[in-house]
Structure 1
């Protein structure tokens, strides 16, 4: 069996949409043991200030490698499912596709469908595992290669690898590390499958936790929480949707968008949370429940990003 699969690379249909998926696809394209027969991705969508239609990053990469692209609005129609059958793929690989695969689709490929998920399942099932792990202050996360079933991230585990989360990691930095790890681990899983060394381990559903999609309104900061909690919140929501708070200035309420900073010194008892304490290097120190949070950069509503010191000089007149 192993020799046959090596002589005839697996025919794989790749399902994915954003940058994370494109990074994984890049590893798959470079793998000699697989032939990507199609990239299935979401339709081009308007985005940006001009609302111009932009192709998904998976589509861009696929076209660069002359891989046929399918962009169905839904996978529930007979036409979409027939198009997938016509690919004659051995295996479906699904990475941040953005649509649920119905059981009828999961049953099309003889080897089923496998998923690259950015957490150590059964922890953080769902849409935002990277951000929620940072928000919760987890010291470690990872990648799971999973055999898909009809549930949400409930299938058997095929392979896992862990990755430490640094104290200053943001959703952006961790995203890129995990995407690269996901691509490498996918190739390892496919290699093990060809060698007959890929085992299936059922998940312990009693230990499952969930990572719901981020909502914009969750970006509002609460300074009456410990500085570690604030720091985790800021870095988990960077770059999207961002974190902010409202500040009363010269009779108007100003929204201040916060960039990731660092945790400062312990505060004297009685310091009111949210108090702007002054500058520390280029950062603006803001009181949390226990310590200062040092904001290195922030963006006033309608303005441009500036250092914490520049903000203190311009708005607080605390030039030191």
Structure 2
């Protein structure tokens, strides 16, 4: 089978790697390079970097019309999409004989949209999974070819869960493609009430100490490593790891002299690891030794 792969972030790389072991990849389509880091240097997406390492032809169209023209010229048997970052139009979906197949990191129709892993962690879900679907014009609304259930472990944060889902999803995707190409699997309409996973906003990254303690921990896990709070002087602290703790106090109050235990609207959390205002990763205890205030904002 002649496949064109469409993907952008590191989540998509295990899928491309597995597909290369089993099929011919004619080309890779990914998003354009974007400014990144403090210097805002133009940086290629992870999938482009991987494609170049593997000697694959790589396209970075800026519009849907460009995508259409590229795929029309390549004439793929199938287009495989993993976290590409753009909804494909009807005319694009019609090009490949075997359709456009998408790996989505949720149990559809739950968490359709851009941030399914973050939303599952934020909600405190115990289970999530992967779905492989035949794409249609909607946002993750296509019929499902296969799916797998994945347990969310207590230590899972966005990084850990993303890695787990991407590796497991890559194997599921290849198995599903083999069945699909042989005609041994049929798409099934999604069943159940859909929920949505909109893009993460900057406002969501800030920890609110008025929330319940478990909710604070869920936010830290969901937006790792970007969830943050402020010091009394307004300096930003990125909170990387925390756990439930004993004790009560005013919201945001540090209620222990040796451990960084912070009171919430209900319950308390102990901050175990953070990145301080100088960009250094330190423990909560290390931070507390140099912090004279008794509150976090």
What range describes the TM-score normalised by the shorter chain of this pair? over 0.9
**Number of the residue aligned with 1:14:** 5
Measure, in 1, the Cα distance between the counterparts of 2:139 and 2:55: 32
Q: Which one of the candidate residues 24, 28, 45 is aligned to 1:56?
A: 45
Matched, 1:160 2:147: yes
Normalised by the size of structure 1, how large is the TM-score? 0.87
What RMSD over aligned residues (CA atoms) do the two structures have, in Å? Answer: 1.8
Q: Which one of the candidate residues 277, 281, 287 is aligned to 1:305?
A: 281
Which residues in structure 2 correspond to 1:1-320 (within 5 Å)?
10-31=1-22, 34-77=23-66, 80-204=67-191, 206-239=192-225, 242-248=226-232, 252-265=233-246, 267-268=247-248, 271-278=249-256, 283-302=259-278, 304-316=280-292
Runs (5+) with no aligned partner, structure 2: none
Measure, in 2, the Cα distance between the counterparts of 1:67 and 1:311: 47
Measure, in 1, the Cα distance between the counterparts of 2:256 and 2:279: 21
The alpha carbon displacement at 1:317 in A equals: 8.6
SS in 2 for 1:198: coil
Runs of 4+ aligned structure 1 residues displaced above 6 Å come to none
Normalised by the size of structure 2, how large is the TM-score? 0.93
Return the index of the structure with the highest Cα Rg: 1
SS in 2 for 1:83: helix
Size of the aligned set, in residue pairs, is: 294
SS in 2 for 1:76: helix
SS in 1 for 2:174: helix
Say if 2:273 and 2:283, in contact at 8 Å, map to a contact too.
yes
Runs (5+) with no aligned partner, structure 1: 1-9
Say if 2:113 and 2:197, in contact at 8 Å, map to a contact too.
yes
- Cα-to-partner distance string for 1:71-105 (whole Å, 9 max, x where unaligned): 1111224xx42321121211110111112211111
The alpha carbon displacement at 1:232 in A equals: 0.3
SS in 1 for 2:137: coil
The alpha carbon displacement at 1:173 in A equals: 0.6
**Number of the residue aligned with 1:5:** none
- Cα-to-partner distance string for 1:148-184 (whole Å, 9 max, x where unaligned): 0000000000000011111221111101111111110
